[in-house]
Amino acid sequence: MFSLPVATKPQPFSPQTAEKASRLRGATVTEGVCPYCAVGCGQLIYTKGGQLIDIEGDPRSPISEGTLCPKGANTFQLSTNPHRVRNVLYRAPYADKWETKPLNWALDQIARRVKAARDAGLVTRNADGRLLNSVKTIGTLGGATLDIEENYLIKKLFTGGLGVLSVENQARI
């Protein structure tokens, strides 16, 4: 008869793996909301040294309990993709070529044009002298990818702040 040596309990990982640490160790965690649909699943956003390193589902979220749909799970790639457009393409009236402009330039242009359209179409009082402060020449359409808080703020900005009457939010599809 022969005897076999007593085996020690095998480890489920190698010594090299045991020496490694999580890449999230030391990262700053910020709570966020998935940008895709109106459900509002919670996300945990991890940054180190001002750089985004990971985005995961928040297990404390009562909506998703830490899970994310395929679009929500792709949020990290959306943010870090090297092919992401970071400038604005602008074609001036009657021009035949597109120009690359910085985002801040485009935001300033939008603000100026909205103010000009509001000032041109603002009706302060009706024929009876009743205070209106309304604009019928501007409209806004919210989308299904906005959550309820964003739609609320858009509604407050356009109706209360700018006096826009035509404010519509698309239902979820």
Average pLDDT value for the chain: 84
Q: What is the per-residue pLDDT across 124-137, written as a single tens digit (0 to 9) for each?
A: 888 898 888 888 88
Sign of CA dihedral 114, 115, 116, 121: positive
CATH ID of 26-80, from 2.120.10.30, 3.20.20.70, 2.40.30.170, 2.20.25.90: 2.20.25.90
Question: CB–CB of 58/42 below 8 Å?
Answer: yes
Per-domain residue ranges of the chain: 26-80, 88-169
d(CA 25, CA 16): 18
Q: What is the per-residue pLDDT across 75-100, written as a single tens digit (0 to 9) for each?
A: 888 888 888 878 899 999 999 999 99
